[in-house]
Amino acid sequence: MKYSYKLSDAIHILVYIHIAPKGLLDSTTIATSVESNPSVVRRLMATLKKAGLIDSRAGTAEPKLARPAAEISLLDVFRAVEPNSALLHVDPRTNSDCPVGAHIQQTLDGAYSRIQRAAEDEMRQLTIQDMVADIQLRNQHVG
């Protein structure tokens, strides 16, 4: 199974933009923090800009959050970078001649829909500011 790290990386980028000192906001520097390629960071930043989560101007390395960190939920970020993406996926290949295989897809569709709604409700409650505060707290306990 291949995992997508877009959400994690997008949250990382938004938190970095919020707390990094000016002058350290170019895609190469951010990519170093994410441990990614600058072009991947630029693509994610373009997606975040298109979704109205960051403001930036071509030719400058001065991105900023488009609204306060407390007003950007993790659900906003998820919807920006993983549009129409379900968290869980039902295997479409099952044996319809089997009493379980014939009905497991519909059963799991219902269960997974409940899980998706619960996850989205929780993501709606968590903000970039919450992530910033947690990182700042963890940094205070180091050293």
∠ Cα 36 37 38 (to 5°): 115
pLDDT surpassing 80 at residue 106: yes
55: enclosing H helix or E strand: strand 54-55
Q: How sure is the predictor about 49, in pLDDT bands with cuts at 50, 70 and 90?
A: very high
Q: What pTM, to 2 d.p., does this model score?
A: 0.89
pLDDT of 1 = 59
What are the extents of the domains in the chain? 6-140
Residue-level pLDDT at 36: 95
Q: CA angle at residue 101 from 1 to 110, to 5 degrees?
A: 75
- CATH architecture of the domain with range 6-140: Orthogonal Bundle (1.10)
